[in-house]
């Protein structure tokens, strides 16, 4: 019996060994199958997630971003302990103890899924979630779950817990296009993750489960419950006290959604995007995490935008109400369903935007813009110059243009009725010493038109071209005290006689070149251009950096040439720079994801004219401000100089001027080159915009002084430049 018992035990043990071998073989086979084609975890050491490219102004402030996934890469120490504790408590309590998988959670989840007849789900550790997000598909299958576990074990063997946490925290999707907790903190609370409070950290920690479902923007009540659940989990784990949990739960969800940084200088940002994509490629720009250091100054940009929009509003009011408003009811839309693209951004104080007339009574009109409302009274439409009652001007469903005057608590606001007839404008400001573009506004509304009028619009520059004529004369030995006859004249040209006139249709007789430029007299400018040759004048314009094609015919001296505002503004910066041209630049430096410098832009500097000529021309352009067509700027407490420009039929209005440190150019007009209206000259339409901007730009700063013009001396000979009988110069062609 004893021998037979031993045989039986041996047979049983043998059978168990066979079964164990089969089980091990089967398990090994399954593991081999499931591990086939698994990604190599070693790739994580070289892993570079798609991250946002950021653009900075000269003070390091973000002014724009490019991204496929809005992600800001952060380190382990960038994530505060309160956030780490919140995330671990709600997602993976044993994160710092397990080796990648939690067997008991997996068994429990599998049992529940089998019992309910569902697919395997849940029970994922942070490491398993990381493996899935990086390497695997999101489908919930047993096959994927095994692969997820195998990858998690490999990750844990190769990386430390802080490294794994950091990879996860930078990778996870957290709603509204944000990836990673640093980007989410900036989006939801407008601050870095390091500054998160307990209730804010708990809110973000609850998002990975279902970012859209628990969105605090779209579903604040769900987000609140989820946040409190995270706080309870932290309390259970001993990460916070009962008092801390209670205090955090008592606080409402207060978001401070990040404003789109691209909205501050959209035309400028678009210029940079095109340049970067042409040089580095779209993938690198939108996913490579570049750091682009630009020339822009955020404060000056805000002042520039405000000045241009205020100037356009003043122009609109001068010309009265034109009506022709879009009405959404007439288009078959419902009032409560209408949402204007302007409402995607929070309204700004003194900002301009479109709004909807919700209802109109005999004495008031209710205006809606986003979540806010305002009321317009009969007095608010008095500027329209229409002797009509408010209901005759505005109707329910009209889309109107407004200026936000106040943003009161509770959603009520105060606004003024404005008008957008299609008049446009551009403003460029350049630092004289560096050539850096400090402000650029390419139009009224980037959402309505991406066309950058500062860099792309070729417009006739009018009399703002005349300084090139006078520069050529001065540079060739002329003096501002030389005299010329402002009188009727006829030039014989290949196409027949040309008899120009002055702006005021009057003639002043013998006047100095200084006065002729200050008063923007046309006849003297044409006589001078004819004497030295229009080709010589054009050559000087090109020396100043004008690259636009300029036809060689005499009326070019009066500004018939088409030049962009950026070119014209950059050209004028030569005068305060003592005759040196510094090419305008947008970018100072670009670095890659690792901080390596990809490019560093240094100023392109060229001598254009002598310092003598530059200083004399500066003094003559100073006269334009003190006693000439820009005399309205004489009251400003800074040394300023510049030139107005007005074209035929008032289609273009210009003022380009400078202080010792800053040059600014302003253009006002319609895209289709129609008249701005009678008397809308450069001094009337463009100069006020320039003055508002320069007052803001120079306030509180040392304006400096212009270099003094060289003395003429007592023995200087004053020449008379009067050549009515001379043949046309060698440059006069058609």
Give the list of residues 6+ apart from residue 578 with CB closer than 8 angstroms, or none.
611, 614, 615, 707
Name the strand (E) or helix (H) holding 415: strand 412-418
Tell me the residue ranges of DSSP E strands in 254-382.
Answer: 291-294, 352-360, 364-369, 372-377
b/e per residue, 563-573, with b = 16+ CB within 10 A? Answer: bbbbbbbbbbb
In contact, 232 and 222? CB cutoff 8 Å: no
Q: Is 516 left (phi over 0), alpha (psi -120 to 50) or beta?
A: alpha
CA-wise closest residue to 405 among 351, 467, 344, 328: 351
Our answer to whether residue 21 is catalytic in this structure is: no
- The rounded distance, in Å, linking the Cα atoms of 319 and 386 is 12
First to last CA, the chain: 128
- Give me 294's structure tokens: 């630009």
Q: Outline where DSSP puts E strands in 222-296.
A: 291-294
CA distance 221 to 213: 10
Q: How far out from the chain centre does Cα 97 lie? A: 46
Please name the residues in contact with 655: beta carbons below 8 A apart, sequence gap of 6 or more: 464, 630, 642, 643, 644, 645, 665, 666, 682, 683, 686, 687, 689, 690
Of 729, 724, 734, 723, the residue nearest 534 (C-alpha): 729
89, 303, 413, 463: the active-site residue: 463
Sheet of 483-486: strand order equals 509-512, 483-486, 720-721
Q: Which of 91, 270, 424, 567 is catalytic?
A: 91
Chain mean position to CA 700: 26
User: What tokens appear for 558 in the block?
Assistant: 């009066």
Phi first, then psi: what are they for 657, rounded to 5°? -150, 175
Instruction: List Cβ neighbours of 16 (8 Å cut-off, separation of 6 or more).
Output: none
Structure tokens belonging to residue 108 = 């429990």
463 is catalytic: yes
Q: Which residues of 322-332 are buried (b: 16+ CB within 10 A; e: fewer)?
A: eeebeebeeee
Contact 502, 523 (CB under 8 A): yes
SS (H, E, C) 585-601: ECEEEEECCCCCEEEEC
Report the candidate in 592, 308, 284 with the shortest Cα–Cα distance to residue 424: 308
- The position carrying tokens 């700004």 is 348
* 3-state secondary structure string across 372-407: EEEEEEHHHHHHHCCCCCHHHHCCCCEEEEEEEEEE
Which residue(s) pair with 66 in the sheet?
A: 53
Residues annotated catalytic, as ranges: 91, 463
């Amino acid at each position: 019996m004893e021998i037979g018992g031993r045989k039986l035990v041996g047979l049983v043990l043998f059978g168990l060994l066979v079964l164990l071998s089969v089980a091990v073989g089967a398990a090994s086979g399954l593991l081999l199958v499931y591990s086939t084609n698994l990604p190599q975890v070693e790739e994580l050491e070289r892993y570079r997630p798609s991250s946002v490219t950021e653009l900075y102004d000269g003070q390091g402030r973000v002014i724009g971003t490019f991204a496929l996934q809005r992600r800001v890469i952060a380190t382990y120490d960038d994530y505060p302990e309160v956030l780490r504790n919140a995330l671990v408590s709600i997602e993976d309590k044993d994160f710092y103890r397990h080796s990648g998988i939690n067997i008991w959670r997996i068994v429990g989840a599998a049992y529940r899924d089998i019992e309910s007849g569902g697919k395997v789900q849940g029970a994922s550790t942070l490491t398993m979630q990381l493996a899935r997000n990086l390497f695997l598909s999101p489908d919930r299958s047993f096959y994927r779950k095994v692969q997820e576990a195998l990858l998690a074990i490999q990750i844990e063997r190769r990386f430390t817990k802080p490294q794994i946490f950091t990879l996860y925290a930078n990778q996870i999707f957290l709603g509204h296009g944000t990836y990673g907790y640093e980007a989410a903190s900036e989006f939801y609370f407008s601050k870095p993750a390091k500054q998160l409070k307990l209730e804010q950290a708990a809110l973000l920690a609850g998002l990975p489960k279902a970012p859209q479902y628990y969105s605090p923007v779209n579903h604040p009540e769900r987000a609140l419950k989820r946040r409190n659940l995270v706080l309870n989990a932290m309390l259970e784990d001993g990460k916070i006290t009962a008092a801390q949990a209670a205090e955090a739960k008592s606080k409402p969800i207060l978001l401070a959604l990040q404003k789109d940084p691209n909205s501050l200088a959209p035309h400028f940002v678009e210029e940079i995007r095109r340049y970067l994509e042409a040089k580095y490629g779209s993938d690198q720009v939108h996913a490579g995490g570049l750091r682009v250091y630009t020339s822009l100054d955020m404060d000056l940009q805000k002042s520039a935008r405000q000045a241009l929009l205020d100037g356009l509003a003043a122009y609109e009011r001068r010309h009265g109400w034109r009506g022709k408003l879009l009405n959404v009811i007439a288009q078959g839309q419902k009032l409560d369903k209408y949402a204007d693209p302007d409402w995607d951004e929070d309204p700004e104080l003194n900002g301009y935007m479109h709004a909807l007339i919700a209802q109109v009574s005999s004495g008031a009109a209710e205006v809606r813009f986003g979540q806010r409302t305002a009321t317009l009274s009969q007095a608010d439409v008095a500027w329209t110059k229409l002797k009509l009652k408010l209901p005759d001007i505005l109707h329910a469903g009209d889309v109107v243009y407004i200026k936000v005057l106040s943003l009161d608590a509770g959603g009520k606001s105060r606004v003024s009725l404005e008008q957008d007839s299609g008049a446009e404008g551009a403003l460029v400001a350049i630092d004289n010493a560096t050539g850096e573009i400090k402000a650029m506004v390419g139009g009224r509304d980037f959402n309505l038109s991406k066309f950058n009028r500062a860099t792309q619009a070729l417009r006739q520059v009018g009399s703002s071209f005349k300084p090139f004529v006078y520069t050529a004369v001065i540079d060739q030995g002329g003096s501002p005290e030389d005299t010329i006859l402002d009188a009727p004249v006829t030039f014989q040209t290949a196409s027949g006689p040309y008899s120009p006139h002055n702006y005021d249709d009057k003639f002043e007789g013998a006047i100095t070149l200084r006065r002729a430029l200050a008063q923007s007299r046309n006849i003297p400018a044409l006589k001078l251009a004819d004497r030295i040759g229009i080709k010589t004048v054009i050559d000087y314009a090109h020396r100043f950096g004008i690259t636009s094609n300029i036809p060689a015919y005499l009326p070019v001296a009066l500004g018939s040439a088409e030049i962009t505002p950026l070119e014209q503004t950059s050209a004028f910066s030569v005068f305060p720079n003592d005759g040196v041209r510094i090419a305008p630049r947008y970018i100072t430096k670009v670095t890659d994801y690792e901080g390596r410098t990809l490019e560093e832009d240094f100023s392109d500097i060229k001598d254009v004219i002598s310092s003598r000529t530059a200083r004399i021309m500066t003094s003559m352009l100073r006269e334009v401000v003190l006693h000439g067509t820009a005399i309205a700027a004489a009251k400003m407490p800074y040394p300023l100089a510049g030139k107005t420009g007005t074209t035929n039929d008032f289609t273009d209005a210009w003022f380009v001027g400078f202080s010792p440190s800053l040059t600014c150019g302003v253009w006002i007009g319609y895209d289709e080159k129609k008249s701005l209206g009678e008397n809308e000259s450069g001094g009337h339409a463009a100069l006020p915009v320039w003055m508002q901007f320069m007052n803001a730009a120079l306030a509180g700063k040392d304006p400096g002084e212009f270099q003094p013009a060289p003395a003429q001396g007592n023995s200087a000979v004053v020449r008379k430049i009067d050549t009515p009988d001379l043949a046309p110069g060698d440059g006069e062609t058609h």
